[in-house]
Structure 1
Protein backbone atom coordinates (compact mmCIF):
# COMPACT_ATOMS: atom_id res chain seq x y z
CA UNK A 1 0.00 0.00 0.00
CA UNK A 2 1.22 3.50 -0.71
CA UNK A 3 0.75 6.54 1.46
CA UNK A 4 0.54 10.14 0.42
CA UNK A 5 4.12 10.95 1.38
CA UNK A 6 5.57 8.38 -1.02
CA UNK A 7 6.80 9.29 -4.51
CA UNK A 8 4.37 9.27 -7.39
CA UNK A 9 4.11 5.86 -8.98
CA UNK A 10 4.91 4.06 -5.75
CA UNK A 11 2.96 0.92 -4.99
CA UNK A 12 2.48 -1.24 -1.96
CA UNK A 13 1.12 -4.74 -2.28
CA UNK A 14 -0.40 -6.81 0.52
CA UNK A 15 -0.08 -10.56 0.10
CA UNK A 16 -1.76 -13.17 2.23
CA UNK A 17 -1.49 -16.95 2.51
CA UNK A 18 -3.21 -19.04 -0.18
CA UNK A 19 -6.98 -18.69 -0.26
CA UNK A 20 -7.03 -15.05 0.81
CA UNK A 21 -7.49 -11.76 -1.00
CA UNK A 22 -4.80 -9.69 -2.58
CA UNK A 23 -4.47 -6.22 -3.57
CA UNK A 24 -4.24 -3.17 -5.76
CA UNK A 25 -1.94 -1.17 -7.92
CA UNK A 26 -1.36 2.42 -8.94
CA UNK A 27 -0.22 5.59 -7.25
CA UNK A 28 -1.04 5.45 -3.55
CA UNK A 29 -3.03 2.27 -4.02
CA UNK A 30 -3.93 -0.59 -1.72
CA UNK A 31 -4.20 -4.30 -2.39
CA UNK A 32 -6.47 -5.60 0.32
CA UNK A 33 -6.51 -9.06 1.84
CA UNK A 34 -8.42 -11.18 4.28
CA UNK A 35 -6.70 -13.80 6.36
CA UNK A 36 -7.14 -17.52 5.90
CA UNK A 37 -5.60 -18.44 9.26
CA UNK A 38 -5.10 -16.73 12.56
CA UNK A 39 -1.36 -17.33 12.19
CA UNK A 40 0.16 -18.02 8.76
CA UNK A 41 2.22 -21.18 8.80
CA UNK A 42 5.13 -22.13 6.61
CA UNK A 43 3.61 -25.58 6.19
CA UNK A 44 0.84 -24.00 4.14
CA UNK A 45 3.34 -22.47 1.76
CA UNK A 46 2.29 -18.94 2.69
CA UNK A 47 5.77 -17.73 3.49
CA UNK A 48 7.20 -19.18 0.28
CA UNK A 49 4.69 -17.07 -1.67
CA UNK A 50 5.78 -13.97 0.22
CA UNK A 51 9.46 -14.83 -0.16
CA UNK A 52 9.08 -15.36 -3.91
CA UNK A 53 7.26 -12.06 -4.30
CA UNK A 54 9.93 -10.17 -2.37
CA UNK A 55 12.73 -11.86 -4.31
CA UNK A 56 11.10 -11.12 -7.68
CA UNK A 57 10.47 -7.48 -6.76
CA UNK A 58 14.08 -7.07 -5.71
CA UNK A 59 15.34 -8.72 -8.91
CA UNK A 60 13.29 -6.40 -11.09
CA UNK A 61 14.22 -3.25 -9.21
CA UNK A 62 10.86 -2.62 -7.56
CA UNK A 63 11.75 -3.47 -3.98
CA UNK A 64 12.09 0.21 -3.08
CA UNK A 65 8.61 0.95 -4.46
CA UNK A 66 6.61 -2.13 -3.54
CA UNK A 67 6.15 -3.31 0.00
CA UNK A 68 5.03 -6.87 0.72
CA UNK A 69 2.98 -7.32 3.88
CA UNK A 70 1.08 -10.04 5.71
CA UNK A 71 -2.06 -8.62 7.26
CA UNK A 72 -5.80 -8.99 7.59
CA UNK A 73 -6.70 -5.94 5.55
CA UNK A 74 -10.37 -6.27 6.47
CA UNK A 75 -9.19 -4.40 9.58
CA UNK A 76 -7.19 -1.90 7.55
CA UNK A 77 -3.47 -1.27 7.80
CA UNK A 78 -2.55 0.96 10.76
CA UNK A 79 -0.63 4.15 9.94
CA UNK A 80 -1.29 3.73 6.21
CA UNK A 81 -3.47 5.57 3.71
CA UNK A 82 -5.49 7.32 2.61
CA UNK A 83 -5.38 5.53 -0.74
CA UNK A 84 -6.37 6.58 -4.24
CA UNK A 85 -7.60 3.05 -4.95
CA UNK A 86 -8.33 -0.13 -3.05
CA UNK A 87 -8.74 -3.33 -5.06
CA UNK A 88 -9.99 -6.52 -3.46
CA UNK A 89 -9.35 -9.78 -5.32
CA UNK A 90 -11.49 -12.18 -3.33
CA UNK A 91 -15.25 -12.55 -3.09
CA UNK A 92 -16.45 -10.06 -0.46
CA UNK A 93 -19.89 -10.49 1.08
CA UNK A 94 -19.78 -7.00 2.58
CA UNK A 95 -17.64 -3.85 2.50
CA UNK A 96 -15.35 -3.44 5.49
CA UNK A 97 -15.68 0.00 7.15
CA UNK A 98 -11.89 0.33 7.26
CA UNK A 99 -11.72 0.27 3.46
CA UNK A 100 -13.91 3.35 3.39
CA UNK A 101 -11.97 4.95 6.26
CA UNK A 102 -8.69 4.54 4.37
CA UNK A 103 -9.99 5.56 0.94
CA UNK A 104 -9.50 9.13 -0.25
CA UNK A 105 -12.68 11.19 -0.72
CA UNK A 106 -12.23 10.92 -4.49
CA UNK A 107 -10.76 7.40 -4.39
CA UNK A 108 -12.05 4.25 -6.05
CA UNK A 109 -12.94 0.93 -4.42
CA UNK A 110 -13.02 -2.12 -6.71
CA UNK A 111 -14.18 -5.46 -5.35
CA UNK A 112 -15.99 -8.69 -6.27
CA UNK A 113 -19.21 -8.20 -4.31
CA UNK A 114 -21.27 -11.29 -3.50
CA UNK A 115 -25.02 -10.68 -3.67
CA UNK A 116 -27.12 -13.72 -2.75
CA UNK A 117 -24.59 -16.16 -4.22
CA UNK A 118 -24.02 -14.17 -7.43
CA UNK A 119 -20.87 -12.04 -7.80
CA UNK A 120 -20.12 -8.88 -9.74
CA UNK A 121 -16.86 -6.95 -9.76
CA UNK A 122 -17.97 -3.39 -9.07
CA UNK A 123 -16.01 -0.14 -9.16
CA UNK A 124 -17.37 2.32 -6.61
CA UNK A 125 -16.77 6.02 -6.00
CA UNK A 126 -18.22 8.14 -3.24
CA UNK A 127 -21.47 9.99 -3.86
CA UNK A 128 -22.19 11.96 -0.74
CA UNK A 129 -22.57 9.59 2.20
CA UNK A 130 -22.72 6.43 0.07
CA UNK A 131 -20.92 4.72 -2.82
CA UNK A 132 -22.17 4.63 -6.41
CA UNK A 133 -21.02 2.19 -9.08
CA UNK A 134 -19.10 3.44 -12.10
CA UNK A 135 -18.48 0.09 -13.83
CA UNK A 136 -19.27 -3.61 -13.37
CA UNK A 137 -17.90 -6.86 -14.76
CA UNK A 138 -19.01 -10.49 -14.56
CA UNK A 139 -16.45 -12.56 -12.67
CA UNK A 140 -16.06 -15.20 -9.99
CA UNK A 141 -13.59 -15.29 -7.10
CA UNK A 142 -12.87 -17.57 -4.18
CA UNK A 143 -14.79 -16.38 -1.10
CA UNK A 144 -13.19 -14.25 1.57
CA UNK A 145 -12.08 -15.97 4.74
CA UNK A 146 -11.33 -14.73 8.23
CA UNK A 147 -13.32 -12.14 10.16
CA UNK A 148 -15.10 -10.88 7.03
CA UNK A 149 -16.18 -14.29 5.78
CA UNK A 150 -19.82 -15.20 5.36
CA UNK A 151 -21.11 -18.70 5.93
CA UNK A 152 -24.10 -19.67 3.84
CA UNK A 153 -26.08 -22.87 4.34
CA UNK A 154 -25.98 -26.00 2.20
CA UNK A 155 -28.86 -28.48 2.10
CA UNK A 156 -28.24 -31.99 0.74
CA UNK A 157 -30.92 -33.73 -1.31
CA UNK A 158 -30.53 -37.47 -1.93
CA UNK A 159 -31.42 -38.59 -5.43
CA UNK A 160 -32.64 -41.94 -6.67
CA UNK A 161 -29.05 -43.13 -7.26
CA UNK A 162 -28.04 -42.56 -3.65
CA UNK A 163 -25.87 -39.55 -4.52
CA UNK A 164 -26.42 -35.94 -3.48
CA UNK A 165 -27.67 -32.74 -5.06
CA UNK A 166 -26.73 -29.65 -3.05
CA UNK A 167 -28.75 -26.47 -2.58
CA UNK A 168 -26.63 -23.52 -1.41
CA UNK A 169 -28.38 -20.58 0.24
CA UNK A 170 -26.64 -17.28 0.88
CA UNK A 171 -29.34 -16.00 3.24
CA UNK A 172 -33.08 -16.20 3.63
CA UNK A 173 -33.16 -19.99 3.93
CA UNK A 174 -36.73 -21.34 3.76
CA UNK A 175 -37.87 -22.70 7.12
CA UNK A 176 -39.54 -25.82 5.72
CA UNK A 177 -36.75 -27.45 3.73
CA UNK A 178 -37.56 -30.79 5.35
CA UNK A 179 -40.40 -31.02 2.84
CA UNK A 180 -37.81 -31.57 0.09
CA UNK A 181 -36.30 -34.75 1.57
CA UNK A 182 -37.56 -37.06 -1.20
CA UNK A 183 -38.35 -34.44 -3.80
CA UNK A 184 -35.96 -35.90 -6.41
CA UNK A 185 -37.48 -39.36 -6.15
CA UNK A 186 -40.55 -38.37 -8.15
CA UNK A 187 -40.62 -37.51 -11.83
CA UNK A 188 -39.84 -34.04 -13.17
CA UNK A 189 -42.07 -31.69 -15.16
CA UNK A 190 -40.84 -28.95 -17.48
CA UNK A 191 -42.36 -25.52 -18.04
CA UNK A 192 -41.28 -22.96 -20.63
CA UNK A 193 -41.14 -19.18 -20.55
CA UNK A 194 -41.27 -18.13 -24.18
CA UNK A 195 -38.15 -16.03 -23.49
CA UNK A 196 -35.23 -16.80 -25.78
CA UNK A 197 -31.59 -15.85 -26.15
CA UNK A 198 -29.53 -15.91 -29.32
CA UNK A 199 -26.49 -18.09 -29.78
CA UNK A 200 -23.37 -16.52 -28.28
CA UNK A 201 -25.30 -13.81 -26.40
CA UNK A 202 -24.56 -13.41 -22.69
CA UNK A 203 -27.46 -13.72 -20.28
CA UNK A 204 -25.41 -13.34 -17.10
CA UNK A 205 -27.68 -10.56 -15.87
CA UNK A 206 -30.54 -13.06 -15.73
CA UNK A 207 -28.63 -14.84 -12.94
CA UNK A 208 -28.22 -11.50 -11.16
CA UNK A 209 -31.91 -10.69 -11.59
CA UNK A 210 -32.94 -14.03 -10.10
CA UNK A 211 -30.59 -13.54 -7.13
CA UNK A 212 -32.20 -10.19 -6.37
CA UNK A 213 -35.87 -10.79 -7.07
CA UNK A 214 -36.62 -14.51 -6.78
CA UNK A 215 -37.67 -15.44 -3.25
CA UNK A 216 -36.24 -18.83 -2.26
CA UNK A 217 -33.33 -18.49 -4.72
CA UNK A 218 -30.36 -20.83 -4.29
CA UNK A 219 -27.39 -22.27 -6.17
CA UNK A 220 -27.63 -25.86 -7.36
CA UNK A 221 -24.81 -28.38 -7.72
CA UNK A 222 -24.74 -32.12 -8.36
CA UNK A 223 -22.30 -34.74 -7.14
CA UNK A 224 -20.99 -37.28 -9.60
CA UNK A 225 -23.33 -40.21 -9.96
CA UNK A 226 -26.51 -38.17 -9.67
CA UNK A 227 -29.05 -38.19 -12.45
CA UNK A 228 -28.74 -34.41 -12.62
CA UNK A 229 -25.01 -34.65 -13.31
CA UNK A 230 -25.73 -36.66 -16.46
CA UNK A 231 -28.25 -34.18 -17.80
CA UNK A 232 -27.42 -31.39 -20.22
CA UNK A 233 -28.54 -27.79 -20.65
CA UNK A 234 -29.30 -26.96 -17.05
CA UNK A 235 -27.93 -24.01 -15.09
CA UNK A 236 -27.01 -23.92 -11.39
CA UNK A 237 -29.80 -21.58 -10.31
CA UNK A 238 -32.89 -22.85 -8.51
CA UNK A 239 -35.85 -21.86 -6.37
CA UNK A 240 -37.60 -23.58 -3.48
CA UNK A 241 -41.28 -23.08 -2.74
CA UNK A 242 -42.85 -25.27 -0.06
CA UNK A 243 -42.46 -28.89 -1.16
CA UNK A 244 -41.30 -27.89 -4.63
CA UNK A 245 -37.94 -27.36 -6.34
CA UNK A 246 -37.36 -25.90 -9.79
CA UNK A 247 -34.14 -25.04 -11.61
CA UNK A 248 -33.22 -23.18 -14.77
CA UNK A 249 -33.00 -25.16 -18.01
CA UNK A 250 -32.65 -24.47 -21.73
CA UNK A 251 -34.01 -26.03 -24.91
CA UNK A 252 -33.59 -25.18 -28.58
CA UNK A 253 -35.82 -22.33 -29.68
CA UNK A 254 -37.97 -22.63 -32.77
CA UNK A 255 -36.51 -21.87 -36.19
CA UNK A 256 -32.94 -21.81 -34.93
CA UNK A 257 -33.55 -18.70 -32.82
CA UNK A 258 -31.13 -19.75 -30.08
CA UNK A 259 -32.38 -21.21 -26.81
CA UNK A 260 -35.50 -20.84 -24.70
CA UNK A 261 -35.41 -20.54 -20.91
CA UNK A 262 -37.53 -22.84 -18.80
CA UNK A 263 -37.88 -24.57 -15.45
CA UNK A 264 -37.56 -28.24 -14.54
CA UNK A 265 -39.63 -28.89 -11.43
CA UNK A 266 -39.92 -31.61 -8.78
CA UNK A 267 -42.22 -32.25 -5.87
CA UNK A 268 -45.76 -31.61 -4.77
CA UNK A 269 -45.28 -27.85 -5.14
CA UNK A 270 -43.03 -28.13 -8.18
CA UNK A 271 -45.44 -26.26 -10.41
CA UNK A 272 -45.57 -23.40 -7.89
CA UNK A 273 -41.76 -23.19 -7.83
CA UNK A 274 -41.60 -23.35 -11.63
CA UNK A 275 -44.20 -20.58 -11.95
CA UNK A 276 -42.13 -18.32 -9.66
CA UNK A 277 -39.01 -18.96 -11.75
CA UNK A 278 -40.82 -18.42 -15.06
CA UNK A 279 -42.36 -15.20 -13.74
CA UNK A 280 -38.93 -13.73 -12.98
CA UNK A 281 -37.45 -14.88 -16.29
CA UNK A 282 -40.23 -12.99 -18.05
CA UNK A 283 -39.79 -9.96 -15.76
CA UNK A 284 -36.06 -9.88 -16.63
CA UNK A 285 -36.96 -10.07 -20.32
CA UNK A 286 -39.22 -7.03 -19.96
CA UNK A 287 -37.14 -4.86 -17.67
CA UNK A 288 -33.63 -6.19 -17.11
CA UNK A 289 -32.01 -7.61 -20.22
CA UNK A 290 -31.58 -4.47 -22.29
CA UNK A 291 -29.16 -2.44 -20.14
CA UNK A 292 -26.83 -3.16 -17.21
CA UNK A 293 -27.91 -2.20 -13.69
CA UNK A 294 -26.39 0.40 -11.38
CA UNK A 295 -25.38 -0.39 -7.81
CA UNK A 296 -24.95 1.67 -4.68
CA UNK A 297 -23.64 0.83 -1.23
CA UNK A 298 -25.13 2.56 1.79
CA UNK A 299 -22.89 2.10 4.86
CA UNK A 300 -24.29 2.17 8.37
CA UNK A 301 -25.16 5.76 9.27
CA UNK A 302 -25.89 6.88 5.71
CA UNK A 303 -29.25 8.43 4.87
CA UNK A 304 -31.26 5.54 3.51
CA UNK A 305 -34.16 7.88 2.99
CA UNK A 306 -32.26 8.98 -0.13
CA UNK A 307 -32.46 5.52 -1.72
CA UNK A 308 -34.49 5.84 -4.94
CA UNK A 309 -37.98 4.40 -4.79
CA UNK A 310 -37.33 2.11 -7.76
CA UNK A 311 -34.18 0.54 -6.23
CA UNK A 312 -34.19 -2.91 -4.66
CA UNK A 313 -32.39 -3.18 -1.32
CA UNK A 314 -30.25 -6.05 -0.01
CA UNK A 315 -29.18 -5.70 3.61
CA UNK A 316 -25.67 -6.59 4.71
CA UNK A 317 -24.02 -6.62 8.13
CA UNK A 318 -22.44 -3.16 7.79
CA UNK A 319 -24.77 -1.47 5.34
CA UNK A 320 -27.00 -2.18 2.38
CA UNK A 321 -26.59 -2.65 -1.37
CA UNK A 322 -29.11 -1.32 -3.86
CA UNK A 323 -29.65 -2.20 -7.49
CA UNK A 324 -31.46 -0.11 -10.09
CA UNK A 325 -32.24 -1.04 -13.68
CA UNK A 326 -32.68 1.67 -16.32
CA UNK A 327 -36.24 2.07 -17.59
CA UNK A 328 -36.88 -0.22 -20.54
CA UNK A 329 -37.88 1.29 -23.86
Structure 2
Protein backbone atom coordinates (compact mmCIF):
# COMPACT_ATOMS: atom_id res chain seq x y z
CA UNK A 1 0.00 0.00 0.00
CA UNK A 2 1.56 3.23 -1.15
CA UNK A 3 1.17 6.45 0.72
CA UNK A 4 1.17 9.80 -1.00
CA UNK A 5 3.85 12.11 0.33
CA UNK A 6 2.55 14.80 2.65
CA UNK A 7 2.71 18.27 1.32
CA UNK A 8 5.08 20.41 3.27
CA UNK A 9 3.53 23.37 5.01
CA UNK A 10 4.81 26.68 3.87
CA UNK A 11 6.13 28.81 6.69
CA UNK A 12 3.72 31.45 7.96
CA UNK A 13 4.73 34.93 6.87
CA UNK A 14 5.97 37.10 9.70
CA UNK A 15 3.29 39.29 11.12
CA UNK A 16 3.60 42.94 10.43
CA UNK A 17 4.86 45.08 13.28
CA UNK A 18 1.91 47.44 12.93
CA UNK A 19 -0.63 44.64 13.35
CA UNK A 20 1.16 43.31 16.42
CA UNK A 21 1.33 46.81 17.87
CA UNK A 22 -2.39 47.35 17.34
CA UNK A 23 -3.27 44.08 19.06
CA UNK A 24 -1.06 44.97 22.03
CA UNK A 25 -2.67 48.41 22.20
CA UNK A 26 -6.17 46.88 22.23
CA UNK A 27 -5.08 44.33 24.83
CA UNK A 28 -3.52 46.95 27.12
CA UNK A 29 -6.06 49.72 26.51
CA UNK A 30 -7.74 49.36 29.96
CA UNK A 31 -4.34 49.63 31.66
CA UNK A 32 -3.50 52.69 29.56
CA UNK A 33 -6.75 54.33 30.65
CA UNK A 34 -5.90 53.61 34.29
CA UNK A 35 -2.45 55.12 33.82
CA UNK A 36 -3.61 58.36 32.19
CA UNK A 37 -4.63 60.14 35.45
CA UNK A 38 -1.23 59.36 37.00
CA UNK A 39 0.56 60.58 33.87
CA UNK A 40 -1.43 63.82 33.90
CA UNK A 41 -0.64 64.26 37.59
CA UNK A 42 3.10 63.85 36.96
CA UNK A 43 3.04 66.19 33.98
CA UNK A 44 1.05 68.88 35.77
CA UNK A 45 2.84 68.94 39.12
CA UNK A 46 6.32 67.58 38.32
CA UNK A 47 7.34 68.20 34.71
CA UNK A 48 5.56 71.39 33.63
CA UNK A 49 6.79 73.27 36.76
CA UNK A 50 10.38 72.48 35.66
CA UNK A 51 9.94 75.18 33.03
CA UNK A 52 9.80 77.69 35.88
CA UNK A 53 13.51 77.11 36.52
CA UNK A 54 14.10 79.78 33.90
CA UNK A 55 13.77 82.39 36.66
CA UNK A 56 17.13 81.18 37.99
CA UNK A 57 18.61 83.23 35.12
CA UNK A 58 16.39 86.29 35.67
CA UNK A 59 15.91 89.14 38.10
CA UNK A 60 12.43 87.74 38.54
CA UNK A 61 9.67 90.03 39.75
CA UNK A 62 6.28 88.39 40.37
CA UNK A 63 4.30 91.43 39.21
CA UNK A 64 6.21 91.44 35.89
CA UNK A 65 6.15 87.70 35.28
CA UNK A 66 8.67 85.53 33.48
CA UNK A 67 8.20 87.24 30.12
CA UNK A 68 9.02 90.77 31.29
CA UNK A 69 11.61 90.12 34.03
CA UNK A 70 15.20 91.11 33.20
CA UNK A 71 17.74 88.43 32.26
CA UNK A 72 20.84 88.37 34.45
CA UNK A 73 22.52 85.17 33.21
CA UNK A 74 24.43 83.34 35.94
CA UNK A 75 24.39 86.24 38.36
CA UNK A 76 21.98 84.45 40.72
CA UNK A 77 24.45 81.59 41.08
CA UNK A 78 26.96 83.89 42.75
CA UNK A 79 25.78 82.81 46.23
CA UNK A 80 26.93 79.28 45.37
CA UNK A 81 30.15 80.17 43.55
CA UNK A 82 31.27 82.88 45.99
CA UNK A 83 30.29 80.95 49.12
CA UNK A 84 27.57 83.12 50.65
CA UNK A 85 27.65 82.62 54.43
CA UNK A 86 23.94 81.83 54.76
CA UNK A 87 24.11 79.38 51.86
CA UNK A 88 27.19 77.62 53.26
CA UNK A 89 25.48 77.28 56.65
CA UNK A 90 22.42 75.73 55.01
CA UNK A 91 24.62 73.40 52.96
CA UNK A 92 26.57 72.30 56.05
CA UNK A 93 23.39 71.52 58.01
CA UNK A 94 21.97 69.67 55.00
CA UNK A 95 25.06 67.47 54.66
CA UNK A 96 25.07 66.66 58.40
CA UNK A 97 21.41 65.63 58.27
CA UNK A 98 22.05 63.64 55.08
CA UNK A 99 24.84 61.75 56.84
CA UNK A 100 22.56 60.95 59.79
CA UNK A 101 19.74 59.81 57.52
CA UNK A 102 21.97 57.51 55.45
CA UNK A 103 23.89 56.05 58.41
CA UNK A 104 21.12 55.91 61.03
CA UNK A 105 17.68 56.28 59.41
CA UNK A 106 18.18 54.16 56.28
CA UNK A 107 19.38 50.98 58.09
CA UNK A 108 16.67 51.24 60.77
CA UNK A 109 13.87 49.54 58.74
CA UNK A 110 16.31 46.84 57.63
CA UNK A 111 17.15 46.00 61.25
CA UNK A 112 13.47 46.11 62.24
CA UNK A 113 12.50 43.85 59.33
CA UNK A 114 15.17 41.33 60.34
CA UNK A 115 13.87 41.34 63.93
CA UNK A 116 10.25 40.90 62.85
CA UNK A 117 11.16 38.17 60.39
CA UNK A 118 13.36 36.21 62.82
CA UNK A 119 11.79 36.51 66.24
CA UNK A 120 8.04 36.63 65.75
CA UNK A 121 5.32 34.33 64.57
CA UNK A 122 3.13 35.42 61.66
CA UNK A 123 0.27 36.34 64.00
CA UNK A 124 2.36 38.61 66.22
CA UNK A 125 4.23 39.98 63.21
CA UNK A 126 1.00 41.23 61.63
CA UNK A 127 -0.10 42.83 64.89
CA UNK A 128 3.23 44.58 65.47
CA UNK A 129 3.36 45.70 61.85
CA UNK A 130 -0.08 47.28 62.09
CA UNK A 131 1.01 49.25 65.15
CA UNK A 132 4.29 50.34 63.59
CA UNK A 133 2.60 51.50 60.38
CA UNK A 134 0.32 54.00 62.14
CA UNK A 135 2.80 56.89 62.63
CA UNK A 136 3.44 57.02 58.88
CA UNK A 137 -0.10 58.26 58.29
CA UNK A 138 0.28 61.20 60.68
CA UNK A 139 1.24 64.55 59.20
CA UNK A 140 4.41 66.28 60.36
CA UNK A 141 2.28 68.90 62.08
CA UNK A 142 0.80 66.23 64.34
CA UNK A 143 4.15 64.47 64.86
CA UNK A 144 5.87 67.72 65.90
CA UNK A 145 2.95 68.59 68.19
CA UNK A 146 3.18 65.15 69.84
CA UNK A 147 6.91 65.50 70.47
CA UNK A 148 6.43 69.01 71.86
CA UNK A 149 3.62 67.81 74.14
CA UNK A 150 5.86 65.03 75.43
CA UNK A 151 9.38 66.51 75.47
CA UNK A 152 8.87 70.30 75.39
CA UNK A 153 9.54 72.67 78.27
CA UNK A 154 5.89 72.43 79.32
CA UNK A 155 5.47 68.86 78.08
CA UNK A 156 4.23 65.84 79.96
CA UNK A 157 7.65 64.61 81.12
CA UNK A 158 8.82 68.03 82.35
CA UNK A 159 5.51 68.61 84.10
CA UNK A 160 5.93 65.36 86.02
CA UNK A 161 9.59 66.15 86.83
CA UNK A 162 8.67 69.63 88.04
CA UNK A 163 5.85 68.31 90.20
CA UNK A 164 8.22 65.84 91.86
CA UNK A 165 11.02 68.31 92.48
CA UNK A 166 13.39 67.06 89.77
CA UNK A 167 15.41 69.08 87.27
CA UNK A 168 13.68 69.68 83.93
CA UNK A 169 15.00 69.77 80.39
CA UNK A 170 13.84 71.24 77.10
CA UNK A 171 14.80 68.87 74.30
CA UNK A 172 12.65 70.69 71.74
CA UNK A 173 14.44 74.01 72.28
CA UNK A 174 17.98 72.61 72.49
CA UNK A 175 20.09 73.69 69.51
CA UNK A 176 22.78 71.12 70.37
CA UNK A 177 20.34 68.21 70.14
CA UNK A 178 18.22 69.52 67.28
CA UNK A 179 19.62 67.25 64.57
CA UNK A 180 19.29 64.18 66.80
CA UNK A 181 15.69 65.22 67.52
CA UNK A 182 14.95 65.38 63.79
CA UNK A 183 16.53 61.96 63.28
CA UNK A 184 14.52 60.37 66.10
CA UNK A 185 11.29 61.84 64.71
CA UNK A 186 11.96 60.38 61.26
CA UNK A 187 12.75 56.96 62.73
CA UNK A 188 9.59 56.99 64.85
CA UNK A 189 7.38 58.11 61.96
CA UNK A 190 8.64 56.17 58.94
CA UNK A 191 10.66 53.14 60.04
CA UNK A 192 7.65 50.84 60.45
CA UNK A 193 6.25 51.74 57.04
CA UNK A 194 9.62 51.31 55.34
CA UNK A 195 9.84 47.69 56.51
CA UNK A 196 7.16 46.65 53.99
CA UNK A 197 9.55 46.26 51.06
CA UNK A 198 12.23 44.56 53.14
CA UNK A 199 9.77 42.07 54.64
CA UNK A 200 8.51 41.30 51.13
CA UNK A 201 12.09 40.68 49.98
CA UNK A 202 12.79 38.48 53.01
CA UNK A 203 9.74 36.36 52.23
CA UNK A 204 11.23 35.49 48.82
CA UNK A 205 14.39 33.91 50.28
CA UNK A 206 14.18 30.14 50.02
CA UNK A 207 13.92 28.26 53.33
CA UNK A 208 16.24 25.64 51.88
CA UNK A 209 19.12 28.12 52.07
CA UNK A 210 18.59 28.51 55.81
CA UNK A 211 18.34 24.74 56.23
CA UNK A 212 21.57 24.20 54.32
CA UNK A 213 23.33 26.88 56.38
CA UNK A 214 22.03 25.31 59.59
CA UNK A 215 23.27 21.86 58.52
CA UNK A 216 26.69 23.39 57.86
CA UNK A 217 26.71 24.66 61.44
CA UNK A 218 26.04 28.34 60.78
CA UNK A 219 24.77 30.28 63.79
CA UNK A 220 21.74 32.58 63.42
CA UNK A 221 24.02 35.60 63.01
CA UNK A 222 26.05 33.82 60.32
CA UNK A 223 22.81 32.89 58.54
CA UNK A 224 21.79 36.54 58.53
CA UNK A 225 25.17 37.57 57.15
CA UNK A 226 25.52 34.86 54.48
CA UNK A 227 21.87 34.20 53.53
CA UNK A 228 19.53 36.99 54.58
CA UNK A 229 21.56 40.08 53.70
CA UNK A 230 22.65 38.79 50.26
CA UNK A 231 19.00 37.94 49.61
CA UNK A 232 17.85 41.52 50.11
CA UNK A 233 20.95 43.23 48.71
CA UNK A 234 19.20 44.14 45.45
CA UNK A 235 16.30 45.97 47.11
CA UNK A 236 18.68 47.68 49.55
CA UNK A 237 20.82 49.05 46.71
CA UNK A 238 17.73 50.09 44.74
CA UNK A 239 16.26 52.06 47.66
CA UNK A 240 19.64 53.60 48.50
CA UNK A 241 20.00 54.87 44.93
CA UNK A 242 16.50 56.35 45.04
CA UNK A 243 17.33 57.96 48.39
CA UNK A 244 20.38 59.60 46.84
CA UNK A 245 18.07 61.22 44.29
CA UNK A 246 16.63 63.24 47.17
CA UNK A 247 19.97 63.45 48.96
CA UNK A 248 19.78 67.20 49.56
CA UNK A 249 16.10 67.08 50.54
CA UNK A 250 16.11 66.40 54.27
CA UNK A 251 12.61 67.34 55.37
CA UNK A 252 11.29 70.86 54.70
CA UNK A 253 8.00 70.62 56.57
CA UNK A 254 9.49 68.88 59.61
CA UNK A 255 12.25 71.49 59.94
CA UNK A 256 10.28 74.66 59.20
CA UNK A 257 7.81 73.76 61.95
CA UNK A 258 10.63 73.65 64.52
CA UNK A 259 12.91 76.49 63.43
CA UNK A 260 11.47 78.97 65.90
CA UNK A 261 12.76 77.53 69.21
CA UNK A 262 16.31 76.75 67.98
CA UNK A 263 16.94 79.48 65.42
CA UNK A 264 18.05 79.44 61.80
CA UNK A 265 21.72 78.88 62.59
CA UNK A 266 21.36 75.17 63.39
CA UNK A 267 18.13 74.44 61.52
CA UNK A 268 18.54 76.12 58.13
CA UNK A 269 18.84 73.59 55.29
CA UNK A 270 18.76 74.12 51.54
CA UNK A 271 14.98 73.67 51.31
CA UNK A 272 14.26 76.17 54.07
CA UNK A 273 16.94 78.48 52.60
CA UNK A 274 15.05 78.50 49.30
CA UNK A 275 11.80 79.26 51.15
CA UNK A 276 13.26 81.97 53.39
CA UNK A 277 15.24 83.67 50.63
CA UNK A 278 12.66 83.29 47.88
CA UNK A 279 9.16 83.39 49.35
CA UNK A 280 9.91 85.51 52.42
CA UNK A 281 12.98 87.46 51.25
CA UNK A 282 11.85 88.16 47.70
CA UNK A 283 15.07 86.83 46.11
CA UNK A 284 13.23 84.61 43.70
CA UNK A 285 16.08 84.18 41.23
CA UNK A 286 18.62 83.22 43.90
CA UNK A 287 16.22 80.71 45.46
CA UNK A 288 15.48 79.19 42.03
CA UNK A 289 19.22 78.93 41.28
CA UNK A 290 19.89 77.06 44.53
CA UNK A 291 16.92 74.75 43.89
CA UNK A 292 18.08 74.08 40.33
CA UNK A 293 21.60 73.16 41.43
CA UNK A 294 20.15 70.91 44.16
CA UNK A 295 18.09 69.05 41.56
CA UNK A 296 21.04 68.65 39.19
CA UNK A 297 23.20 67.27 42.02
CA UNK A 298 20.45 64.74 42.82
CA UNK A 299 20.33 63.56 39.20
CA UNK A 300 24.13 63.20 39.06
CA UNK A 301 24.15 61.20 42.31
CA UNK A 302 21.46 58.82 41.01
CA UNK A 303 23.30 58.23 37.72
CA UNK A 304 26.64 57.75 39.50
CA UNK A 305 25.21 55.39 42.11
CA UNK A 306 23.44 53.40 39.39
CA UNK A 307 26.72 53.03 37.46
CA UNK A 308 28.44 51.91 40.66
CA UNK A 309 25.71 49.31 41.22
CA UNK A 310 26.34 47.93 37.72
CA UNK A 311 30.06 47.62 38.52
CA UNK A 312 29.19 45.44 41.53
CA UNK A 313 26.85 43.28 39.44
CA UNK A 314 23.50 44.72 40.57
CA UNK A 315 20.68 45.89 38.29
CA UNK A 316 20.20 49.28 39.95
CA UNK A 317 17.16 51.25 38.83
CA UNK A 318 17.82 50.95 35.09
CA UNK A 319 20.16 49.27 32.64
CA UNK A 320 22.13 51.58 30.36
TM-score normalised over the length of structure 1: 0.21
More strand by share: 1
Instruction: Pick the structure with more helix per residue.
Output: 2
TM-score (normalised: structure 2): 0.21
In our comparison, the structure showing a higher alpha carbon Rg is 2
